[in-house]
Amino acid sequence: MDAPEEPLPPVIYTMENKPIVTCAGDQNLFTSIYPTLSQQLPREPMEWRRSYGRAPKMIHLESNFVQFKEELLPKEGNKALLTFPFLHIYWTECCDTEVYKATVKDDLTKWQNVLKAHSSVDWLIVVVENDAKKKNKTNILPRTSIVDKIRNDFCNKQSDRCVVLSDPLKDSSRTQESWNAFLTKLRTLLLMSFTKNLGKFEDDMRTLREKRTEPGWSFCEYFMVQEELAFVFEMLQQFEDALVQYDELDALFSQYVVNFGAGDGANWLTFFCQPVKSWNGLILRKPIDMEKRELIQKQEATLLDLRSYLFSRQCTLLLFLQRPWEVAQRALELLHSCVQELKLLEVSVPPGALDCWVFLSCLEVLQRIEGCCDRAQIDSNIAHTVGLWNYATEKLKALGYLCGLVSEKGPNSEDLNRTVDLLAGLGAERPETANTAQSPYKKLKEALSSVEAFEKHYLDLSHATIEMYTSIGRIRSAKFVGKDLAEFYMRKKSPQKAELYLQGALKNYLAEGWALPITHTRKQLAECQKHLGQIENYLQTSSLLASDCHLTDEERKYFCQEILNFASQQTNSPGHKIVLPMHSFAQLKSLHFDPSNAVVHVGGVLSVEITLWSQMPVPVHVEQIAINVHFSIEKNNYRKTAEWLTKHKTSNGIINFPHEPAPFPASQNSLPALELYEMFERSPSDNSLNTTGIICKNVHMLLRRQESSSSVDVPSGVALEDGAHVLKCSSVMLEPGANKVLFRTQAREPGTYTLRQLCASVGPLWFVLPHVYPIVQYDVYSQEPQLHVEPITDSLLAGIPQKVRFTVTTGHYTVKNGDSLQLSNAEAMLILCHAENRAVIYSNTREKSSDASFRIQSSGKVTSISLPAAPAYHLIEFELDVLSLPSAPAVRGDSNQPGLKESRRTCSEKLAASHCMVTTDHKVSIDCPWSIYSTVIALNFSIPFQTTHSLLSAGTRKYIQICVQNLSELDFRLSDSSLIDTGGSADLQLVPLNTQIQQHIHSQQSVFFVWELKWTREPPPALHCRFSVGFSPASEEQLSVSLQPYTYEFQVENFFTLYNVKAEIFPPLGMEYCKTGSLCSLEVSITRLSDLLEVDKDEALTESDEYFTTKLMYEVVDNSSNWAVCGKSSGVLSMPVAAQATHRVHMEVMPLFAGHLPFPDVRLFKYLPHHSAHSSQLDADSWIENDSLSVDKNVDDAVDSSSIKSRGSMHSASSIEHRGLPMPRLQAFPPGQVFNSSSGMQVFVIPSKEDHVLEVSVT
């Protein structure tokens, strides 16, 4: 079109370009002004308001002033913008009308006509005024006239198109002002022109773009047009806008390619589909790649050419905009999209060509960026560039593989041909990089030239990339590049270098649990280790791979076979072991003990069945599977005892091992499991527990620094323990999947055995599970034979047959036929023999094993029980009936002197220890066949009854009452009760008043028996009695044995009544009833009932002329505060010891309450004078004294304080007497001797009329 015809070659170095302004008129004048003008114009910015709502911009204007020529004006249809004159200025200095009319006007008209012909409206006429000239020509018209004339002639309605510039070369304020006005005008007009012309251009451009669907439309043409706009923006330093133009072109092109891919092909695009013949990469060092531009202009550019050119322009603009990192990012996108577009457009590309192009381009971009940034900037923006580095590395690797530079042998002829072709496509190096030593072109050429050079370049790039990735924390990417490098090393047959990278990568994948990469890397590592001859590592990796479910069966079998091959090869060198961790080979799933509680006695057989899950794909013959066992003798270990054994039964004896965690999460996986143990610390002296806790035995493994630990795969951590105790199982075929392996062992030493390690050996290979966790233990115990005898019920009752259980724990002793237990009987205990006795034999785990009968032979003092035969570590259990004879019955007859006291005492005792049965011990000594020592067993029998007696009086008649209390839980039947006088005096008769012969006595209840005591002659002072009653359990009808009756012996003393005390209360004289508050008379009469008796012979007795008297003290006490005793309430009287001797005492008492009041108590004591010679008897006396007081207290629980006081003084008197002062003493009478005939009597008291106060006390 127009382009080739253009008279001026397009000015392309846009940076040096400025908008063109033509100058017509006085050239000399302009030349003089030009320096100032070109300097002043860009000084101040001007706001550029723009169409289409684009944001206004401040812009510094510069112009290229050229002489006006008609050729400069663009012809119709010319799209060139760069050469477009935006403004035309006519300069004149004319101040003379004549001159104006003669020449200037014509010139101006001509100029105007030319402009009009080209429809250019952007013009300006500048009239320069010069004072100097004016002075010279005084006759001239006023200066305005010229300007006015011009305005009049040319500026039709556009008076602002003519400006005056006064004295431009002077330095005056007027000049300055004039300049400013002129410059502003100039700028405004320039911008107006821009807006108008660019707007028009854009409109045209848009119109052109809209035609893109038309058949003849060409992208290249359009490209040139829009680029023109970009150039202008760039010229105006509007890089942002310029970039937008290129981006629009980019997007348009991309869209076409996409549409093409979708089947909507444009004709012009087919041109870009021509085969790629040149792949010399991006050129970014020149602002504009003219060669490429020409190709585009000529519509000869290939896709790569167009893309390269486009990107080079974008790059230039981005660098102007100080956005180098965007260049890097866009470059990567560009390269990717170019590759994609070529694929999409199905452009034929020679193999490797694109790789070359990409490689060169990456390096070019990187070098370009490096060229405009300093080191620090680059270092802090690695994240943006590293992608390019990686891409370049990848491409170089691809080229290396393509050209046979990676193989061990070097390239073959085919490879070389390919290399030559590739190098040919690069063409010659561009002149601008020819002098650069490290230019991408040179690098590529060199890298492809030889194997060594390639290696150098590839390693350089790889290391640089890895380093960069590492430095910005992209570890995974770094490892991935490292893996490529490892692959390269493997190809180069230098596995030692590859290993490091593979290990690194593997560690990373393991740590994050990526199964597939792990498998793949391991496979590579296996090959590497094989080459390196790291047998152990190789075998271990192989075992891991053989168990890897991500591999195919063939691969797994291959690796498994590798292991087996090795194992079979090495059989000739015995003793050499290779220890490998077991988890990849097989996994311990569960363990089962038989017996299930994992406790076995010495000599017993323990079997351990383990379930091993073989991970191998094929059956593997294992020569031996062994469990290392750690033995410890733990003293005082409760676990070992038989009791523990019988009490603790584990559910089923199966211990399940936790499933080996899958390779994720890795953090848990890399740590060994905790090995926790109980810990007890006992004090050495008394074996009591001091401290207890849990200790972790593999702390050293857990607290190790993670970083320092070598690779997870290195089996250095597996140490083979060499224990003395090993459970072994030989020649086992492990099928894939679950296998059961049975170990049997005979328990030897007692102690605790902990399973520590599990090893499986295949030839010299030992697969070791270093720690069996959770902890598995079994115990071996030994036990001494023992005999236990214990009652079946809580307690044994005396007198009736009771069952006793014999338990023989055989322990290590085997009970043979004929072994017997020899019981040396206690006299009072019978062993009742039955016709048949049966014993049950249990195993130690309490399982019943058999039933046997046994015999009992009783001969005199020895009872022999022949035991049934029983094996060791069994229990023999049988029951026997025993009967404790009450032969030595409750030794109760030795009652203390006063019968009453005795009974009361037991009563209080009983209260203290409520319902406590009296017990008797029977010791049985048993000779056991396993021991030379006798076992002594104490059996405790309780007497079910408690008996008390009491003496009752009615005047002189006497009765004996027996109370039998049943303390046991059983009910009894009582029969044949009898009371006999053991003294056997004939004149004494005991008459039973009991009607029933048989009586039931229930648990915790009492039965009373009463006898009347009759005598014909004077009774003896003491009476010895024995009470006996037959008893049998109420529940049993008939008993096989006759039972002994229950007996109770006691003594009754001083039972004969000596005194009768009678009290009477009379109302005051003349009154019918006693009345509260008024005095009544109390008359107490004490009558002696018998003559002198044996019992009277004590200190109080005085004799004078066959006439005996004794001293008595009486006391009237009212415990219930019903009475106020007025006057003397007690007194001593001398009583003649003769029958019917009577003493009467009168007293005044006052009733305090109304109603039926019981009489106040009248008490009688023996009044003993001081006896000088009774010091020897002091103890006994004082005992009696104290006791009497305690009796008082028991009787008078509610004594008022006055009586306590009085008694207290009395007591203190007696205690003083005890200290040596002669004082009389009081002695209470035994209960039988004084009969109170008025006890229980009441007197009726009526309330007093004057009684106003009514006291109510509520207690």
Partner 1 sequence: MAVCIAVIAKENYPLYIRSVPTEDELKFHYMVHTSLDVVDEKVSALGKALVDQRELYLGLLYPTEDHKVYGYVTNSKVKFVMVVDSSNTALRDNEIRSMFRKLHNSYTDVMCNPFYNPGDRIQSRAFDNMVTSMMIQVC
Residues at the contact surface with partner 1, assessed by CB under 8 A:
258, 261, 332-333, 335-337, 339-340, 343-344, 383, 387, 469, 472-477, 480, 509, 512-517, 520, 664-667
- Tell me the one-letter amino acid at 656: N
Q: 514 or 1108: whose CB is closer to partner 1?
A: 514
* Residue 335 C-beta: closest distance to partner 1, Å: 8
Structure tokens belonging to residue 824: 């040396």
Q: 475 or 852: whose CB is closer to partner 1?
A: 475
- Reported as type and span, the H/E element at residue 859 is strand 848-859
* Residue 366 C-beta: closest distance to partner 1, Å: 17
Residues 580, 539: Cα–Cα separation, whole Å: 8
Residue 870 is given by DSSP the state: B
* Residue 620 C-beta: closest distance to partner 1, Å: 28
Structure tokens belonging to residue 85: 């004159």
Bridge partners (DSSP) listed for residue 381: none
Coil, helix or strand for 737?
Answer: strand
Q: 387 or 1230: whose CB is closer to partner 1?
A: 387
Q: 376 or 516: whose CB is closer to partner 1?
A: 516
Using CA of residue 657, residue 658, residue 662, residue 667, what is the dihedral sign? Answer: negative
Q: 474 or 592: whose CB is closer to partner 1?
A: 474
Cβ atoms of 751 and 604 closer than 8 Å: no
Q: 335 or 759: whose CB is closer to partner 1?
A: 335
Three-state helix/strand/coil letters over 403-422: CCCCCCCCCCHHHHHHHHHH
For residue 35, report the phi and psi dihedrals to the nearest 5 degrees.
-55, -45
Q: Residue 1200: which region, alpha, beta or left (left: phi > 0; alpha: psi -120 to 50)?
A: beta
Q: Got the DSSP string for 192-215? A: HHHHHHHHHHHHHHHHHHHGGGST
Bridge partners (DSSP) listed for residue 702: none
Query: CA torsion 273→277→278→279, rounded to 10°?
Result: 70
* Residue 171 C-beta: closest distance to partner 1, Å: 59
* Residue 666 C-beta: closest distance to partner 1, Å: 7
For 671, what's the count of Cα atoms within 13 Å in the CB-facing half-sphere? Answer: 14
Q: Beta 945-954 vs 123-129: how paired, if at all? A: unpaired
Q: Shortest CA distance to 881 belongs to which of 1047, 1044, 1041?
A: 1041
* Residue 359 C-beta: closest distance to partner 1, Å: 13
CB count within 10 Å of CB 1155 equals 13
Q: 222 or 509: whose CB is closer to partner 1?
A: 509
Cβ atoms of 614 and 560 closer than 8 Å: no
For residue 666, report the phi and psi dihedrals to the nearest 5 degrees.
-70, -30
Q: 337 or 1109: whose CB is closer to partner 1?
A: 337
Residue 104 is given by DSSP the state: I
Structure tokens belonging to residue 259: 């549409």
Cβ atoms of 540 and 710 closer than 8 Å: no
Residues 1071, 228: Cα–Cα separation, whole Å: 157
For residue 1042, report the phi and psi dihedrals to the nearest 5 degrees.
-80, 135
Q: 477 or 540: whose CB is closer to partner 1?
A: 477
Q: 344 or 674: whose CB is closer to partner 1?
A: 344
CB count within 10 Å of CB 622 equals 26
Q: 337 or 795: whose CB is closer to partner 1?
A: 337
Residues 235, 1161: Cα–Cα separation, whole Å: 144
For residue 471, report the phi and psi dihedrals to the nearest 5 degrees.
-65, -25
Residues 604, 207: Cα–Cα separation, whole Å: 106
Structure tokens belonging to residue 257: 């390619």
Coil, helix or strand for 329?
Answer: helix
* Residue 475 C-beta: closest distance to partner 1, Å: 7
* Residue 674 C-beta: closest distance to partner 1, Å: 20
Residue listed under structure tokens 């305690």? 1190
Q: 263 or 574: whose CB is closer to partner 1?
A: 263
Residues 457, 470: Cα–Cα separation, whole Å: 20
Q: 225 or 335: whose CB is closer to partner 1?
A: 335
Q: 153 or 247: whose CB is closer to partner 1?
A: 247
* Residue 845 C-beta: closest distance to partner 1, Å: 39
* Residue 281 C-beta: closest distance to partner 1, Å: 16
By residue count, the chain amounts to 1259
- Listed in sequence order, the residues at least 6 apart from 311 whose beta carbon sits closer than 8 Å to its beta carbon are 282, 284, 330, 331, 334
* Residue 399 C-beta: closest distance to partner 1, Å: 14
Q: 288 or 481: whose CB is closer to partner 1?
A: 481
* Residue 453 C-beta: closest distance to partner 1, Å: 25
Cβ atoms of 610 and 590 closer than 8 Å: yes
Q: 524 or 863: whose CB is closer to partner 1?
A: 524
* Residue 254 C-beta: closest distance to partner 1, Å: 8
* Residue 672 C-beta: closest distance to partner 1, Å: 19
Q: 97 or 337: whose CB is closer to partner 1?
A: 337
Q: Got the DSSP string for 571-586? A: GGSTT--EEEESTTTE
* Residue 400 C-beta: closest distance to partner 1, Å: 17
- Listed in sequence order, the residues at least 6 apart from 282 whose beta carbon sits closer than 8 Å to its beta carbon are 308, 311, 312, 315, 331, 360, 361, 364, 365
Structure tokens belonging to residue 748: 């030897």
- Tell me the one-letter amino acid at 111: W
* Residue 157 C-beta: closest distance to partner 1, Å: 54
* Residue 507 C-beta: closest distance to partner 1, Å: 13
Q: 525 or 1113: whose CB is closer to partner 1?
A: 525
Q: Shortest CA distance to 333 belongs to which of 384, 298, 267, 296?
A: 384
* Residue 611 C-beta: closest distance to partner 1, Å: 24
